[in-house]
Structure 1
């Protein structure tokens, strides 16, 4: 059969139409590498650097799981800081309440450098109540806000003499009536001078419990209530010491030393700070002869960072 002209034309037209190229397949985005905290950060300080991404926070953590994780963190910190204690030097409740009032907006080290002269000249509430404010101001000048602090310590001394016979009261409701004494100061005194449990919600405590997702509260009183509900009352005072010591030494505000942190596997905020072990070691805060306030051997993380066991700093 002969092909007609129209058939030939149609065939040639078909040949002239180029075939459409298939659209290139879109490349799938590279899977994001998720890294978990090292199983034991302190054990990895001398090893290879871990990867540097943030651990995802607990998703849908139940109340029971939160309580278990919070208590495990406290147990881990108790092993790292077995001798955690108030880092203010004191020998009696009066010295502790005065030192705690003076510690506002300054360091415990600065207070400890200042109070020996203050207590040598004014050893009792009666002495400080009758003091010349200008002379007290001169002693307290290194602490900062020395005029306001002078007014507070003289005022609380006068209140102790007038209302409590020169003795520091052992009840929260009485302590908070003293000039310059709030709940935080009161719980420091109750827990460490009278052995009555209390949670000290200072700036370190607030920062860490939010990083650990124990609570999202920002008001100190609400933080105190929320965290207190996670632990037996008997644990409150030691818990405060453990958290505050950790905040001062490892879990800093601006750049936490995540790579040297003993509770890294339990921390939802792991990776906010330096995760490289060698670099993290350099962020640990300690003083010559040991890290601040430590009376006996420091944990291994601090020895690795170049610290040395410290001699006893004080009794009590």
Structure 2
């Protein structure tokens, strides 16, 4: 008799467990349904309010489109039109150096990207923060360094110290007046923005040949509020680190649309640097439709360069000018 009683109790417990499980599932389903019905309207309303607000705070892009085109050089300058030399082609000569800029000009290339950092004493210098810890050192200490000695071909060049923006401007005025400088800010603090604004106001010629690049939309917005005529660009990086987020077409589309249709018009950028791994013709057209010229990074192999020149028809950032397809064909 006790055997049947125990069996009955066991069956009853299993039945109660199943009922509780079903109740829990129904509760979770109802909760999810409620959240979705509440969240979707609120999210839609929030996005609508953000779009409306962006119309009141947005900054106009630089009105002088001809100046931007003249800085980037025209397609008639092909094949030297396509590449922008990263750190003045840092694989070919000491990066961010005057010697490297001269070498670019000698080869017929005038678009160079240079790094800008802020020293501990508040001076903006041209240096790669991964190699020179400018934030922890004063200018006097930095200028004791020889930036050519760690380059594989450094022995072919004279010793050169880290340059300030003022020294770079003097060099450009004297020896490289035709160079277009893409100045990439690695320190996006308000202090850097203020120092750069003061320098560019006092040095109009430098301003006219420079496109300021930053990964911080806020830094660009602050700079252009102080000096609306400065041409700026956004260094676009992927912040969707989780694979599940990257694999979602909806999430990546929303993420890209926020940058293109809200952030870009608000801060008034003229160019955007995009990773080559995330670029295609459709993405390029979407950026062009909002008045922003896309540029891809980093493109170093000759085959990749041919692809972006002939198929994508887009300018690219490269570490070496020796691998340009037309140079290899003539070699």
- Fold in common (TM above 0.5): no
| TM score, norm. by length of structure 1 | 0.26
Q: Comparing both chains, which one has the higher relative contact order based on Cα–Cα distances under 8 Å and sequence gaps of 6 or more? A: 1
